[in-house]
A and B are shown apart, each in its own frame.
Chain A
């Protein structure tokens, strides 16, 4: 079998056949849906000009542990004993307790689960928007440098070497200082610093394809350079973009968490980094659930994306495929 239209469908089949990868794909789907739900909640409450539930301060319910740890079948929501009640009544009250603040509350009595979902929304946005900034830059510059060579290549290599030799975090800090704290700074900071790796890969791959006979044929048919680059070569190197996307997504989430933790990231909204920064202060008091919920969420998302990204690389990389193909 060759490696053409079937490349994608075969890769997809490979991925689905592996149980771990299937679980990861489900995880990513759930993450996406939660992010969409979070976006919906966020927009709805902004539209109706009310305080969203994840921001509602409830000082009576500070430091509520996750519902499983509140002995749901012995005590009701107000803390009254349900031991004397009948079997059915105890279960009913117990379920009510389980559904109430399932992951507990933080120092201001805000619901941790709702805040984790909002964090997923921010993480998803960061992953997507930074990719939308970084991938076009990397792809376009890489294609131009690889195809034209000469001074174009030298300029591009100079630019990306300059960006790459600055410590990424300093660059991100500088950008967020310029555009101000907040999501815009996060987007631009991460987006403008993480295109270098992709640009290098695309440049090298385009250089390789430039000398293939099909590109020679396209040139001798008189196609314009743009047509050759974007219609003939790019589809042949596009798997690199997919792989890069799935691997840089978790990295940018991690960077956002770190920036928010430092206080230059998301402002006034519960991102995962903000929550970690908040939870850290009371971890020593034994308030472990906020930290646990957030780190578990990050772990699952990052792990799922990384595993899928690695599997995609295995499935789409022609050098790895060549062995069982020909």
Chain B
């Protein structure tokens, strides 16, 4: 197997909690607390978990938008992010991000042309007079009418705005696109269109996606592999269909059973009690033991490592659970 496009090792992003008049750091919110995974070239990886589990922070840290506390990010074998702005530019071109909220991710004071072609100009990929041409091409690529070049973002609907964000991210011909819940703010009716656009573009340009979502239906539709996060750590990862059809980790089971099913298939729901514990003070041992229906005394003492595991039914995967052999 060739070296992965993106290799993340033991990544940690902690936010300091400051208190008092001298702003002493009294603790950390461990939003991402030791995450390891890889994305191969051309692969679409889903990152799933409930709100507040660190998915978005992980995406932003990968983009270098949040400072990381520890760990390594390697992109095509090179460590990210270089400290110098100029040194980071080549990587900016190759990794792009699509944001969740299409209403705040486009600058309201810039025209469509400015928004989608500014990156090309900044990176010296086109000359100023080729701007309109590039803009028209990009709009066509995301299925929009080229007449809108001189309009402002507020004149568009959510789905169209998200197409514009996609055009902006695709303009630089990246190798990896981090999609931070790109369809969760959209109407159900336009979700499928935007997802299919992403799939088509991915196939056409051989893109890798890291697709952050809390919607397993979307993940199943678009991703070949899925990573399940809980409270800053990975609890299970492997092939999408294998994991969604035969989840092993109790948290994944709960997530999968929470997906609405038409006409009540008689499946047993796993209902989790309580809220996600605070990431500022995560539970000892296995982070899920406070809400886990299968918890045993050892779970609060031993943090289970993420290990390769072959259940009796379903695909091979990595799971972090002490009782995986009994649960599989």
A residues near B (Cβ < 8 Å) are: 1-5, 212-214, 216-225, 227, 232, 235-236
* Closest A residue by C-beta to B152: A4
The interface residues of chain B lying within 8 Å CB-to-CB of A218 are: 107
The interface residues of chain A lying within 8 Å CB-to-CB of B172 are: 221
The interface residues of chain A lying within 8 Å CB-to-CB of B100 are: 213
B residues near A (Cβ < 8 Å) are: 60, 63-65, 85, 88-89, 92-93, 95-97, 99-101, 104-110, 118-119, 122-123, 152-155, 165, 168, 172
The interface residues of chain A lying within 8 Å CB-to-CB of B88 are: 222
| Given known A-B contacts A213-B100, A216-B65, A219-B65, A2 and B105 have beta carbons under 8 A apart | no
| Given known A-B contacts A221-B96, A221-B172, A2 and B119 have beta carbons under 8 A apart | no
A216 to B169, CA, bound (A): 12
The interface residues of chain A lying within 8 Å CB-to-CB of B154 are: 1-4
B21 → chain A, closest Cβ, in Å? 14
A214 and B104 contact, CB distance less than 8 A: yes
Other-chain contact of B109, A1, A225, A236 (Cβ < 8 Å): A236
B93 and A216 contact, CB distance less than 8 A: no
B109 and A221 contact, CB distance less than 8 A: no
A230 → chain B, closest Cβ, in Å? 12
A221 to B174, CA, bound (A): 11
Other-chain contact of A236, B95, B108, B123, B153 (Cβ < 8 Å): B108
The interface residues of chain B lying within 8 Å CB-to-CB of A227 are: 122
A222 and B106 contact, CB distance less than 8 A: no
A-B residue pairs in contact (CB < 8 Å), sample of 6 = A214-B104, A216-B97, A217-B99, A217-B106, A227-B122, A236-B108
Number of A-B residue pairs having CB atoms within 8 Å of each other in the complex: 77
* Closest B residue by C-beta to A211: B104
The interface residues of chain B lying within 8 Å CB-to-CB of A219 are: 63-65
The interface residues of chain A lying within 8 Å CB-to-CB of B99 are: 213, 216-217
A4 to B168, CA, bound (A): 19
A221 and B106 contact, CB distance less than 8 A: no
* Closest A residue by C-beta to B85: A224
Inter-chain pairs besides A222-B122, A232-B107, A232-B110, 4 sampled, C-beta below 8 Å:
A213-B100, A214-B104, A216-B105, A232-B109
B122 and A212 contact, CB distance less than 8 A: no
The 4 closest A-B pairs by CB, nearest first: A2-B154, A222-B92, A213-B105, A235-B109
B168 and A212 contact, CB distance less than 8 A: no
B298 → chain A, closest Cβ, in Å? 41
The interface residues of chain B lying within 8 Å CB-to-CB of A223 are: 118-119, 122
A251 to B154, CA, bound (A): 37
The interface residues of chain A lying within 8 Å CB-to-CB of B104 are: 212-214
B108 and A213 contact, CB distance less than 8 A: no
A311 to B95, CA, bound (A): 45
The interface residues of chain B lying within 8 Å CB-to-CB of A5 are: 109, 152
Other-chain contact of A2, B63, B95, B97, B155 (Cβ < 8 Å): B155
